[in-house]
């Protein structure tokens, strides 16, 4: 994108360009349908009144001057013209005052509906690949953007702005009709020049907004550094390492990088006002000179001159870039982004479901020549992977960082689709299964599991939201089976304790306590029909003794369900029926712990390395 805004071209007056502009503005006005009917009706009234009042002021101005300049002037003759003029002005001002509250309410209502649509679009797909797609993220940010600087950038503001400019255009046309009673050609010329001035100015500021939109990825960097400086996640490190000033400077540098091109373009636009300045002088000159010369020549009365000047001034008003113009140019980007987002969502619609997942025994799952590459990258994370998860088996998957362990879990959960190959459950391709039904047959304890700001009870039962919440006795049996009784004993209200670190009447848990509670969540899911359990680094926050108890209590309590265990701690996976070592997206070694130790390969080397570190710590 060039920094010079697009120059005016006669092609802009082509039927296609006019039609596209009309369609764009019609879509903005169509958003008003999301307002409450009473609000919309009242808003319509506040628009109609100023449009009707504009030409009335010109006509009443004519009558007032005519009465004052008549030979037999009588004060009584001024009563009705002055009263009419005052009533028109008062009605216009009253409508303007009332419309401010109505427009704010309507704008917020429209914004809420649009943000709800963005959320529904983001949640609609069965997988999560779109959420990690930079293009989707940029468009979603624009669609839900509410403005982060002096301007308001929202669909609601754009819709209301379009309503205002439509009313102003209608008012200008009405004034042109009043002027045309005396000078029809002048009325058309002034209206055309005023619209041209507005078009040129709007083109400049539209380009300026496009420049800023192109820098959306840079803006995300600003948000990152701002969150890092003010958020709780990095608060300890920022203060411990003395990084406060450095983080602040990085945020400032990122902001300057984001705004640099925008500021440069804005200065260039401000210096490019010669054309609009000249057109404004020509318009004002014609509007004053033509009626003035006619009055000087005796061809136009003083009353007629007053009517023409008031009408001309009303026409000129359309050329001014008011606040609604910025609302449209800034906010329509969000509307365009929403339409593009809806198009992207439609293009990514999931294939038709032909089968339902079984709720019977644990399924036989197979990865058949599965390869997967993340969007925007060229190197596959998994490549020609063949893996079988047998019913009721305890399968451990190990490997270094980036080996593809977590990606494998995402594919197994249907959160991503394989780039090539397929995954089957009892012979049925996962693509053909109903995603919701498949996920109700499995559960997962992820390393970065969510800490819901709800009660301990809710944090457990959300693992099977379709099931009726059982009584305390049933839940406490699961808590004791999973070894989390000490965690509940420390909570003032037991299962009903609010777990929220910023809550006034709640409390937070340590990492290990949260992990124990999340383990109970997995057991609860198994108790309600889940037959495939995925545990991704389930003991990352536990000490060695707690880790041993985890396997004894939690994994031992899942019954006949299949278990897929992912861990960096090889001592954790030692009891598994089968261990798979991933390297470079492929299975490098496979077997039980004893078999892999006898093999003497990479698994054996890593196990001995970890064991030696543990023994050295014990010796110290």
Residue 3, domain member (yes or no): no
Q: DSSP string covering 183-241, please?
A: -HHHHHHHHHHHHHHHHHHHHHHHHHHHHHHHTHHHHHHHHHHHHHHHSSTTHHHHHHT
Residues 331, 429, single domain; the answer is no
The residue-averaged pLDDT of 62-80 equals 78
- What b/e readout covers 121-143, taking b as 16+ CB neighbours within 10 angstroms? bbeebbbeebeebeebbbbbbbb
Highest mean pLDDT among 329-343, 502-516, 521-535: 521-535
**CB-facing half-sphere around the CA of 60: CA atoms within 13 A:** 18
Task: Give me the number of domains the chain comprises.
Answer: 2
pLDDT digits (tens, 9 = 90+) for 287-308: 989 999 998 988 888 899 999 9
Domain with 25 in it? 10-347
Q: State residue 358's pLDDT score.
A: 47
Question: Which of 8-17, 205-214, 367-376, 420-429 has the weakest average pLDDT?
Answer: 8-17
Residue 83, domain member (yes or no): yes
When pLDDT is cut at 50, 70 and 90, the band that residue 180 belongs to is very high
Residues 394, 290, single domain; the answer is no
3-state SS assignment for residue 24: helix
pLDDT digits (tens, 9 = 90+) for 567-609: 877 877 888 899 999 988 889 999 999 999 999 999 999 888 8
Residues 300, 414, single domain; the answer is no
> 173 pLDDT exceeds 70?
yes
> 18 pLDDT exceeds 70?
yes
> 346 pLDDT exceeds 70?
no
Residues 88, 128, single domain; the answer is yes
Distance CA(458)–CA(497), nearest Å, equals: 10
Question: Which of 63-77, 277-291, 339-353 has the weakest average pLDDT?
Answer: 339-353
Q: State residue 491's pLDDT score.
A: 83
Residues 105, 230, single domain; the answer is yes
Q: Which residue has the higher pLDDT, 619 or 145?
A: 145
Residues 402, 464, single domain; the answer is yes
Arithmetic mean of pLDDT over the chain:
81
Residue 5, domain member (yes or no): no
Instruction: Give the domain CATH number at 206.
Output: 1.20.1560.10
**CB-facing half-sphere around the CA of 551: CA atoms within 13 A:** 20
Residues 290, 374, single domain; the answer is no
> 355 pLDDT exceeds 50?
no
Residue 354, domain member (yes or no): no
Contact between 348 and 550 under an 8 Å Cβ cutoff? The reply is no
Count CB neighbours of 4 within 10 A.
11
The DSSP H or E segment spanning 387 is strand 382-389
Nearest to 594 by CA among 574, 610, 573, 569: 574
Residues 369, 320, single domain; the answer is no
Residue 353, domain member (yes or no): no
Distance CA(424)–CA(443), nearest Å, equals: 17
> 194 pLDDT exceeds 70?
yes
The residue-averaged pLDDT of 28-38 equals 88
Residues 409, 341, single domain; the answer is no
> 502 pLDDT exceeds 60?
no
Q: Where among 313, 347, 381 does a domain terminate?
A: 347
> 150 pLDDT exceeds 60?
no
pTM: 0.62
Instruction: Give the domain CATH number at 387.
Output: 3.40.50.300
Whether the CA torsion 179, 182, 187, 190 is positive or negative: it is: negative
Question: Which of 145-159, 335-349, 437-451 has the weakest average pLDDT?
Answer: 145-159
3-state SS assignment for residue 423: strand
Q: Which residue has the higher pLDDT, 323 or 464?
A: 464
Residues 107, 249, single domain; the answer is yes
Q: Pick left, alpha or beta for residue 376 (phi over 0 → left; psi -120 to 50 → alpha; otherwise beta).
A: left
Q: State residue 356's pLDDT score.
A: 44
Q: State residue 245's pLDDT score.
A: 81
Strand pairing of 578-583 and 586-591? antiparallel
Q: Where among 347, 373, 390 does a domain terminate?
A: 347
Q: Where among 284, 314, 347 does a domain terminate?
A: 347
> 107 pLDDT exceeds 80?
yes
pLDDT digits (tens, 9 = 90+) for 378-433: 889 999 999 999 999 999 999 888 888 888 988 998 888 999 999 999 999 998 88
Residue 237, domain member (yes or no): yes
Q: State residue 262's pLDDT score.
A: 74
Nearest to 432 by CA among 133, 126, 120: 126
Residue 356, domain member (yes or no): no
Residues 327, 378, single domain; the answer is no
Contact between 587 and 403 under an 8 Å Cβ cutoff? The reply is no
Residue 357, domain member (yes or no): no
Q: State residue 349's pLDDT score.
A: 52
Contact between 402 and 377 under an 8 Å Cβ cutoff? The reply is no
Residues 380, 341, single domain; the answer is no
């Amino acid at each position: 994108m060039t920094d010079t805004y697009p120059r005016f071209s006669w092609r802009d007056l082509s039927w296609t360009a006019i039609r596209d502009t009309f369609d764009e503005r019609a879509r903005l006005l169509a958003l008003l349908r999301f307002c409450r009917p009473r609000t919309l009706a009242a808003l319509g009234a506040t628009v109609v009144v100023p449009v009707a009042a504009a030409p009335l002021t010109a006509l009443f101005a004519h009558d007032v001057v005519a009465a004052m300049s008549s030979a037999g002037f009588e004060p009584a003759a001024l009563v009705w013209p002055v009263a009419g003029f005052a009533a028109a002005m008062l009605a216009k001002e009253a409508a303007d005052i009332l419309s401010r509250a109505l427009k704010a309410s309507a704008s917020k209502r429209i914004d809420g509906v649009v943000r709800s649509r963005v959320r529904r679009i983001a949640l609609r797909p069965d997988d999560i690949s779109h959420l990690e797609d930079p293009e989707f993220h940029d468009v979603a940010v624009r669609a839900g953007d509410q403005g982060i600087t002096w301007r308001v950038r929202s669909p609601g503001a754009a819709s209301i702005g379009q309503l205002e400019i439509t009313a102003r255009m209608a008012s200008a046309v009405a004034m042109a009709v009043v002027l045309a009673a005396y000078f029809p050609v002048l009325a058309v010329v002034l209206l055309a020049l005023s619209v041209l001035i507005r078009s040129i100015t709007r083109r400049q500021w539209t380009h300026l907004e496009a420049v800023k939109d192109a820098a959306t990825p840079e803006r995300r960097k600003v948000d990152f550094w701002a969150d890092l400086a003010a958020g709780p996640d990095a608060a300890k490190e920022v203060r411990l390492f003395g990084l406060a000033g450095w983080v602040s400077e990085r945020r400032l540098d990122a902001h300057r990088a984001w705004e640099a091109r925008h500021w440069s373009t804005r200065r260039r636009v401000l210096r490019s006002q010669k054309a609009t300045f000249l057109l404004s002088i020509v318009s004002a000159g014609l509007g004053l000179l033509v009626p003035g010369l006619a009055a000087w020549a005796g061809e136009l009365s003083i009353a007629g001159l007053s009517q023409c000047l008031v009408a001309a001034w009303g026409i000129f008003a359309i050329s001014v870039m008011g606040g609604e113009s910025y609302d449209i140019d800034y906010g329509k980007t969000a509307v365009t982004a929403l339409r593009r987002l809806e198009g992207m969502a439609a293009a990514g619609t999931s294939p038709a479901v032909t089968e339902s997942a079984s709720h019977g025994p644990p399924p036989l799952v197979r990865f058949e020549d599965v390869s997967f590459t993340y969007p925007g990258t060229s190197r596959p994370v998994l490549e020609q992977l063949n893996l079988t998860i047998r019913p009721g088996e305890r399968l451990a998957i190990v490997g270094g960082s980036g080996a593809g362990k977590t990606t494998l879990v995402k594919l197994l959960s249907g959160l991503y689709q394989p780039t090539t190959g397929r995954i089957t459950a009892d012979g049925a391709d996962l693509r053909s299964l109903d995603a919701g039904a498949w996920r109700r047959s499995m559960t997962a304890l992820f390393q970065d599991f969510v800490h819901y700001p709800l009660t301990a009870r809710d944090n457990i039962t959300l693992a099977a939201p379709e099931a009726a919440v059982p009584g305390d006795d049933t839940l406490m049996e699961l808590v004791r089976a999973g070894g989390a009784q000490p965690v509940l004993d420390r909570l003032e209200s037991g299962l009903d304790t609010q777990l929220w670190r910023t809550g006034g009447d709640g409390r937070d848990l340590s990492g290990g306590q949260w992990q124990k509670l999340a383990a109970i969540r997995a057991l609860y899911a198994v108790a309600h029909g889940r037959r495939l359990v995925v545990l991704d680094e389930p003991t990352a926050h536990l000490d060695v003794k707690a880790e041993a108890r985890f396997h004894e209590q939690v994994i031992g309590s899942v019954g006949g369900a299949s278990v897929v265990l992912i861990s960096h701690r090889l001592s954790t996976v030692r009891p598994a029926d089968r261990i798979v070592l991933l390297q470079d997206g492929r299975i490098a070694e496979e077997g039980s712990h004893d078999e892999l130790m006898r093999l003497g390969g990479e698994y054996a080397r890593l196990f001995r390395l970890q064991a030696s570190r543990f023994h050295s710590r014990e010796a110290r």
